[in-house]
Structure 1
Amino acid sequence: MVRTALALVLSLVLTGPAFATQEYSLPTLFDVLGVASDDVLNIRAEPNASAPIVGTLAPDARGIEVVEERRNWGRINTGGGTGWVSMRYLSYRTDVWLPGELPPAFRCLGTEPFWDARREGNDLVLRSPEDQEGDRRPVQAVLDTGVFRSPARVVVAQGMTLFSHPQICSDGMSDRLFGLTATLVLLGDSPRILTGCCLIGP
C-alpha cells in the first residue's frame, strides 16, 4: 500500500502540470533592485498601489521569496502574514533552482502533528517538538523534473522520501502562504505520511 502511494505521488510530482520554458517559476527568490538607498520598498495588503502598507523591505534586501504573482505584484510572507510588493523593483535570482540541488534555506514543515524537515550536510533531518535532536537519514538523491528552473523536487533519503511540489499552501496556524506543498513518506516498522508546506526563504 505504501509503495503504491509512493509511486503515485512520485508520478504526480515528476509528470504533473507541464511548465513552459520561462525566466522563472514560482516560488523563487528575488533581490530588491531600483529602490533609492534612502527609501524602502512597501509591502501592501493587496496587489495594488493604493492598498494599506503592512511592512517594508530595505533597498538592499536579498533572497526575498515570492510565492505568487498577480498583475505584476508578488506575494511574500511578512511576519505572521502575507503581503504584496511591486515586481518592478524585484530582480529574480538565477542560482535558486539548480538541477539536482536544493536551495540552501529549503525546509518543509507541518502541523497535526508538528514536524520540520531540512537537509543538513548529507542528511535529511526530521525534527518534532518531542525530538529536537532529529532523525537523521543519509540523502541518496535529489530529483528534479528536468524542466528549466522547475521548483518540484523529490528528496530520497534512507527510509524517508520528501516530495515537494509548487502549489499555494497554508500551514494552518498562521496567515502565511507558501509556494510549495510537502508530502513526507516515512518507511520502516510503522510507515506513515506527513503533509505540510515548504519554503526557500531565510
Structure 2
Amino acid sequence: MVRTALALTLAVATPALATQEYSLPTLFDVSGVAADDVLNIRADPDAQAPIIGTLAPDAQAIEVIDERGGWARVNAGEGTGWVSMRYLAYRTDVWQEGELPDAFRCLGTEPFWDAKVEGGDLVLRRPDDQAGDRRAVQAVLDTGIFRDPARVVVARDMTLFAQPRICSDGMSDRLFGLSATLVLHGEQPAMLSGCCTIGR
C-alpha cells in the first residue's frame, strides 16, 4: 500500500517538477553531419521540399526561431527555411540569468534603427548617427523563469523590451523570434518598434 501511494505521488509530482529543456528563440550547433556533407535548409518543414540553402557540418550558434514536427525554422540569407532537428544540438549557455547572448541585437524600420549592448552601454544607431547614442546599462532584467528569452535592458534614459514572438523586419522575408520595443525617455520621449536576433 505504501509503495502504491509513493508511486502515485511520484507520477503526479513528476510533470510539475519537469523543466522545459529550451524556449525559442535559442541557439543550436549542427551535429551529426558528415565532414564532407552539408545540412540542407528547405523551403518547408518536409524532407521533399525544395532546398533553399545549406549549413556547414561544423556550423555553430544557429538561431532557431520556431519548431514544427521535428523541423527547426532558421534564417537563410534574406529568407527563412527549415532544417531537421535531428542534426541540431541544443546549446545550454544561451539564456543566462540577468545576461544577454553575445550576439543579441535589435533593429527596426520606419524609422531605421539598430541597438545592442557594447562595453557596458546600450548603443542606438540610426542612418544619420552611425557613431551611436550611448547610454550606460543599469540592469538586464529577466522573468526568473528558467531559460525564458524575455529581457528588459534598462539604460540611462532608454529602455529596451524584448519578448518572444515571431517578428518580421518589414524589409525582407526573414523572421525573428523576439519582438522589440525601445523607449527613449528624456525631453523628447519616443517609442521605436522592431525585432531582435541572437544569431551571428
One fold, TM greater than 0.5? yes
Matched residue SS, 1:88:
helix
Structure 2 counterpart of 1:182: 180
Structure 1 counterpart of 2:49: 51
Distance in structure 2 (CA, Å) of the matches to 1:39 and 1:122: 40
- Distance apart, 1:121 and its partner CA: 1.1
- Distance apart, 1:151 and its partner CA: 0.3
1:41-120 equivalences in 2 (<5 Å) = 41-120=39-118
Distance in structure 1 (CA, Å) of the matches to 2:138 and 2:70: 39
- 1:159 corresponds, among 157, 172, 182, to 157
- Distance apart, 1:157 and its partner CA: 0.1
TM-score under structure 1 normalisation? Answer: 0.90
Letter in 1 for 2:52: V
Unaligned runs of 5+ in 1: 1-19
Matched residue SS, 2:59:
coil
- Distance apart, 1:21 and its partner CA: 3.1
Matched residue SS, 1:165:
strand
The share of aligned pairs that are identical, in percent, is: 77
Give the number of aligned pairs: 183
Letter in 2 for 1:61: A
- 2:22 corresponds, among 21, 24, 39, to 24
- Alpha-carbon displacement from aligned partner over 1:68-88 (angstroms, at most 9, x marks no partner): 000010000010000100001
Letter in 1 for 2:55: L
- Distance apart, 1:23 and its partner CA: 0.5
Distance in structure 2 (CA, Å) of the matches to 1:93 and 1:51: 27
- Distance apart, 1:113 and its partner CA: 0.3
Structure 2 counterpart of 1:37: 35
Matched residue SS, 1:162:
strand
Structure 2 counterpart of 1:15: none
- Distance apart, 1:186 and its partner CA: 0.3
Structure 2 counterpart of 1:198: 196
* Larger-gyration structure (1/2): 2
Letter in 2 for 1:46: D
- 2:169 corresponds, among 165, 168, 171, to 171
Contact 1:64 1:76 in 2 (8 A): yes
Matched residue SS, 1:127:
strand
- Alpha-carbon displacement from aligned partner over 1:120-162 (angstroms, at most 9, x marks no partner): 0110000000000000000000000000100000000000000
TM-score under structure 2 normalisation? Answer: 0.91
Structure 2 counterpart of 1:148: 146
Distance in structure 2 (CA, Å) of the matches to 1:38 and 1:110: 38
Structure 2 counterpart of 1:10: none
Distance in structure 2 (CA, Å) of the matches to 1:57 and 1:116: 26
- Alpha-carbon displacement from aligned partner over 1:44-79 (angstroms, at most 9, x marks no partner): 000010000000001100000000000010000010
Structure 1 counterpart of 2:137: 139
Structure 2 counterpart of 1:16: none
Contact 1:21 1:147 in 2 (8 A): no
